[in-house]
Structure 1
Amino acid sequence: METSEFESPIRIAVVDDHPLLRDGIIAVFATQPDLELIAVGEDGEAAIRIYREKRPDILLLDLQMPNVDGVEAMTRILSEFPEARILVLTTYSGDGRATQAIKAGASGYLLKNSLRTELLDAIRSIHRGGTHFDRQVFGAADREAKRLTARESDVLELAAAGNSNKQIAARLSLSEDTVKGYMKAIFARLGAMDRTHAVAIAVRNGLIEL
């Protein structure tokens, strides 16, 4: 893709503690006229410093780094610069921090083994104001987000068995208002409209047994 004389290149910073991966990304950028690498770092503290000093259009940020990890670095950057556009990189689709990163405000999430095929599209999409979430990662993050606490599982299993809030409260030695609070939290966590819907979602995701 070429950049016209009237367009500025997309300014990018890369923060990852693996030199080979950084070098690979740098080599890719060198072939793209519309992308400009402006800074490189190797840990979360460097990511925060680079963003404050350089204000890149997009920050590529590894999750697993020494000292300050990617989630903490991103959280701190976004608290100071809410407009920051951050593309998170990770090695494993099942990384439990995917949920944290997405909730913290990541603009994109990409597996490192997808960089060759998806990195450039992800960067350009995010720069245009869009998002880019790897399907494998987003699926894992979605499943992680749908996990219930032990007590929420107890409440929903009893509800699935046909117990009213009053009966659940008696069985678990809770107040009825507390049970209502658990049900409300369960609906929100699962994106459910009612009890029947919540039970269906929970069973489908292996969260409770009937």
Structure 2
Amino acid sequence: MGAVSVAVHAADPITRHALVSFIQQKQQFVLSRLGDPGAADVVVVELHNADNQAIEGLRRLTFLGTRFLVLVNGTWNADLNTALEAGVRAAILRPDFAWQRFSDAIRAVSEGHGDLPSALQGRLMDQLQRTNREVLQPRGLTASGLTVREIDVVRLVADGTDLKDIAEVLGYSERTVKNVLYGLIKRLGLRNRTHAVSYAIRNGVI
């Protein structure tokens, strides 16, 4: 893998100088200018406190699809789902900061991984459980946005099973299977069955 391009945003000039100097000294990293579309693989942002207002500010900082590593000097009070939607992929709290940890986090984010403190991971899992239990399950949905019945049908389509055999395996009529597929494709704005299978694969459903 080539050098990782990294942009830095820090209000404190001393902090910014230290971060920039470190990045410039490492051959595996190259400093990128903040704000150029697609220029940075990772954007490092220093936050005093990670609250919802600060996280929303990340959306205005750069472009859709940006992956953020946030360095938090104070406390984390932001909604974790909001942070993930804004592009936060890693966070380092001030007591845990070390240059090697910082370097490892940049590399992890650039490779599409995440790096959150264990306390935040636990909070995220609790939040996902509540969302699944209180919002998704009562509507017959899963975290992927598909219903259990849709998942069963798409999995068999991916296996190459024709609609008649899918209906027999699942105990539905062939018309019901067609309606399940049509409803899924229409609701998610997909093009056809192949697109539905691709969507399910990308979301880790099958």
Q: TM-score, normalised by structure 2?
A: 0.51
Percent identity between the two aligned chains: 18
Structure-2 change in CA distance of 1:122 and 1:128 (3 Å): same
* Match among 73, 97, 106 for residue 78 of structure 2: 97
Q: Which residue of 1 aligns with 2:42?
A: 58
* Match among 119, 122, 128 for residue 111 of structure 2: 128
Extract unaligned runs of 5+ from structure 1: 1-6, 40-49, 149-179, 189-210
- After TM superposition, give the deviation of residue 142 of structure 1 in Å: 5.4
In structure 1, C-alpha distance between the alignment counterparts of 2:36 and 2:57, rounded to whole Å: 12
Asked whether 1:118 is paired with 2:112, we answer no
**1:65-84 deviations in Å (ceiling 9; x for gaps):** 8xxx6412323467x523x2
In structure 2, C-alpha distance between the alignment counterparts of 1:142 and 1:19, rounded to whole Å: 36
Alignment of 1:28-177 (within 5 A): 28-39=22-33, 50-52=34-36, 55-64=39-48, 70-76=54-60, 80-82=63-65, 84-92=66-74, 94-97=75-78, 99=80, 100-116=82-98, 117-140=100-123
Q: SS of 2:43's equivalent?
A: strand
- After TM superposition, give the deviation of residue 102 of structure 1 in Å: 2.7
In structure 1, C-alpha distance between the alignment counterparts of 2:58 and 2:68, rounded to whole Å: 8
**For residue 81 of structure 1, what is the amino acid of its counterpart?**
L
In structure 1, C-alpha distance between the alignment counterparts of 2:79 and 2:16, rounded to whole Å: 21
Q: Does the Cα contact within 8 Å between 1:109 and 1:137 map onto a contact in 2?
A: no
Asked whether 1:11 is paired with 2:5, we answer yes
Aligned length: 137
Moved over 4 A (4+): 140-148
Structure-2 change in CA distance of 1:28 and 1:55 (3 Å): same
Q: Does the Cα contact within 8 Å between 1:61 and 1:70 map onto a contact in 2?
A: no
Q: TM-score, normalised by structure 1?
A: 0.50
- After TM superposition, give the deviation of residue 63 of structure 1 in Å: 3.2
**1:99-133 deviations in Å (ceiling 9; x for gaps):** 23134331212213333141111111111121111
Alignment of 1:158-197 (within 5 A): 184=138
- After TM superposition, give the deviation of residue 184 of structure 1 in Å: 4.1
In structure 1, C-alpha distance between the alignment counterparts of 2:25 and 2:43, rounded to whole Å: 19
